[in-house]
Chains A and B, each alone.
Chain A
Amino acid sequence: MWLMSNPAPMHEHAHEQLRYIRDAMERASTFTSIPGWGGVGVGLSAIVATVLAQRAASPEIWLAIWLADAVLAAVIAAVAMVRKARRANVSFRGAPARRFFVSYLAPIAAAAALTVVLARAELYAALPATWLLLYGASFVSSGAYSIPAVPVMGVCFMLLGIAACFLPLAAGNVLLGVGFGGLHVVFGYVIAKSHGG
């Protein structure tokens, strides 16, 4: 009887409930502890690395500068992420965090392996494209389980990587600065302002 006399409100209410369920499920499967200010810190260290690497006397020194920056960036990001997760009471053992890290770390592991192979073959000019493409891929894939800015940042890194495929090492170094420096600072700031630090 009620259905016949008031179909529109009932219909809207059912839609509203299903939307609410979908939102709750999305919130529960999203890893939100992406450190915005940590990203800014990582970006600033990459800008310094870009300047130093541009002046490097040899490709081996150039590689050493970027590897040192990668270690520093990992430390900055890890510390910032742990602090943000603690503030928000988010666990790293939960399913959203697990899904995020598995999809994030797989392309990073591939980048590490390819770095060894390319450095041994002295194909240094291929490294900027490899790093930018695989780092971008890690954010595109892990972005499915995180905030919307993450996959967008990943796509930007991949576009720089595609450009780096066709450029010599010196220009590739500049693109590393634009990506690891500029994109981290810009997206880090956006994430910090819109997602609590």
Chain B
Amino acid sequence: MEAPAPRRQPVETSIPDFDRLIHEKTRLAIVSALAVNPTLTFNEMKAILKTTDGNVSVHTRKLEEAGYLSCRKSFEGRMPKTEYALTAAGKRAFEKYIGHMEALIRATRGA
């Protein structure tokens, strides 16, 4: 009888030195969107991500707590307006993440 094949580990838990905060899909889309826009408002973010208010709030807060996003609240007329921007730490983390993915592709090509 053959030994059972080893169970495949989820990718997230099997890569060392990995920024799991950015790796999550919604947060990765937020950071990617801010990489090509100096600032985005909450509503613009919601339209780009095609998601709910709650989802945008939760994930932007996590990125803000990590120091990857800055958040500025103001009023446009009587309407509250929230604007997000990538911080220097956020830009570095995003570039590092892309570098990591490219390195993985290079490494597995040579494997």
A residues adjacent to B (C-beta < 8 A): 2-4, 6-11, 13-15, 17-18, 20-21, 24-25, 27-29, 88-91, 94-96
User: Known contacts A21-B32, A25-B36; is A7 also within 8 Å of B98 by CB?
Assistant: no
- Give 27 pairs: A residue, B residue, CB < 8 Å, sorted on A: A2-B9, A2-B14, A4-B111, A7-B111, A9-B8, A10-B108, A11-B104, A11-B108, A13-B11, A14-B104, A18-B101, A18-B105, A20-B25, A20-B28, A20-B29, A24-B28, A24-B29, A24-B32, A24-B33, A25-B32, A25-B35, A28-B34, A28-B37, A29-B37, A90-B44, A91-B44, A94-B40
For A15, the closest partner residue in chain B by CB is B105
For A90, the closest partner residue in chain B by CB is B47
Please classify how large the interface on chain B is, using the bins under 10, 10 to 19, 20 to 34, 35 or more. Answer: 20 to 34
A29 B105 Cβ-Cβ under 8 A: no
User: Known contacts A4-B111, A89-B43, A96-B37; is A27 also within 8 Å of B104 by CB?
Assistant: no
Report the separation of the CA atoms of residues A25 and B49 in the bound assembly, to the nearest whole angstrom: 11
B102 A28 Cβ-Cβ under 8 A: no
Report the separation of the CA atoms of residues A38 and B70 in the bound assembly, to the nearest whole angstrom: 37
B20-46 near A? 1/0 per residue, CB < 8 Å: 000101001100111111101101101
